[in-house]
Structure 1
Amino acid sequence: MEDVLAGVGTRLRALRQARGLTLADLAVETGLTGSTLSRLETGKLRPTLEQLLPLARSHGVPLDDLVAAPPTGDPRIHLRPVRRHGLIVVPLTRRPGGVQAYKVIYPPAGQASTTTPQTHEGYEWFYVLNGRVRFVLADQEFELGPGEAAEFDTGLPHWIGSADSQPAELLTLFSAQGERAHLSPTHP
């Protein structure tokens, strides 16, 4: 039991930092106090199920990931969509830190919770799987369709949403540390 709980704090801190959240931000999302979150991350407080459940939900990860549960031998991946700010986000990576992969579904145009460009630390790359996307970056605006991709520094004001009455589906790679996606063609 002690071995299982020993690394929880480190994983919690890495998840929070990968999302670019402060302890205060996470406290609002989870209903836990900033002090409790800090003590959990530093290992000064032993986590309870009542604390881990809202943290797993907030970070969009299975509870097993927080406690580093041993694999069960089942090779299937159980993706759990999360609703955030009107979007459906499906985390595709299961480790904290580094480049994170997501499938993001944007609601039809006019149904977005905001159209105000945002800024935050990091770097993002996205590929349009289905639908049409309206992409605002600083003072430029683009429309992308299936098979098109874009990459940008998230420190620039940006907004992404569906360009029409249909939802838009994107594959997104994001790094809070500013790592860029490096794509290179394969040679036979």
Structure 2
Amino acid sequence: MDDKPPPQPTRRPSPHQAVLDEVAPRLRRLRARSGLTLAALSGTTGISKSTLSRLEFGQRRPSLELLLPLAAAYQVPLDDLVGAPEVGDPRVRLTPRALPNGGTAVPLTRGPGPLQAYKMLIADRGEPDLRTHEGYEWLYVLEGRLRLVLAEHDLVLGPGEVAEFDTRVPHWFTSADGRPVEILSLFGRQGERMHVRAKPRG
């Protein structure tokens, strides 16, 4: 006669625990996609590197206090951290943003990451007000005429023309003729050059 006790039923994790277990791999994927280091993410969120590392490997229970700044840093809804499917919708939510001196920018990348893409509608911004900042920018004119002031250069670009420059050089751009101009912009952190050139127009 077999005296072994009957096998105990296998306990399945609760639906809530299953959701929490998926947070860690999502956080790892988001940081890999963004190109951020733990140190950079820590500086953005105020969360220590050790806590971020434990979160990414499931060694720290995710809380709203930790997830809210992470969602803000990655510019994604909180649902993307706790409720997104393994393979998410690749489409980017197009949310227009007003530019300081007139015009609109529509982010085309989820951000943050090594490169950011924008579609911009630029209005007449008045007199040149040259600025500098870290980074490297690539501009492609879709429609209209763009005036680009870059240090001592004052240029006009038409549809299909491209400019790229180090944004530590004083620069400013606007509509060249008072009518809106539509452009694509790629912006990278310093050293992230795009290596893109326009095909010469025949």
TM-score after normalising by structure 1: 0.64
Number of paired residues?
Answer: 166
Deviations for 1:58-86, whole angstroms, at most 9, x for unmatched residues?
x7x44168627336765654322222323
Is the partner of 1:78 in helix, strand or coil? coil
Can you list the C-alpha shifts for 1:101-145, whole angstroms capped at 9, x where unaligned? 1111212343xxx84111111111110111111111111111111
Consecutive unaligned residues of structure 2, counting only runs of 5 or more, are: 1-18, 56-61
Q: CA deviation at 1:177?
A: 3.1
Q: Which residue of 2 aligns with 1:133?
A: 146
Q: CA deviation at 1:40?
A: 7.6
Alignment partner of 1:39 is 2:47: yes
Corresponding position of 2:77? 63
Aligned-residue sequence identity (percent) comes to 43
Quote the Cα distance in structure 2 between the aligned partners of 1:154 and 1:178: 11
CA apart distance, 1:156:
0.4
Amino acid at match of 1:78: R
Deviating above 6 A after TM superposition, structure 1's stretches of 4 or more consecutive aligned residues are none
The two structures, once aligned, show a CA RMSD in angstroms of 4.2
CA drift at 1:87:
3.6
What is the rounded CA distance, in whole Å, between the counterparts of 1:2 and 1:11 in structure 2?
A: 16
Distance 2:79 2:48 in 1: 15
Partner of 2:93: 78
Mark the structure with the bigger radius of gyration.
2
Residue 129 of structure 2 aligns to a residue whose secondary structure is coil
Q: Which stretch has the larger CA shift, 89-98 or 155-164?
A: 89-98
Q: Check conservation: 1:138, 1:158, Cα contact below 8 A.
A: yes
CA distance in 1, matches of 2:48, 2:96: 26
User: In the alignment, which residue of structure 1 is the partner of 2:175?
Assistant: 162
Cα distance, 1:47 vs structure 2: 4.0
**Structure 2 CA distance for partners of 1:130 and 1:49, relative to 1, 3 Å:** farther
Taking the aligned partners of 2:187 and 2:153, their CA distance within structure 1 comes to 21
Q: Aligned with 2:173: secondary structure?
A: strand
2:166 counterpart of 1:153:
yes
Q: Out of 72, 88, 92, which is 2:104 matched to?
A: 88
Q: Retained in 2: the 8 A contact 1:129–1:170?
A: yes
- The equivalent residue for 1:105 is 121
Structure 1: distance between partners of 2:131 and 2:80:
29
Deviation per CA, 1:39-60: give whole Å up to 9, x if none: 388649944599559937xx7x
**Inter-CA distance 73–176: structure 2 relative to 1 (3 Å threshold):** closer
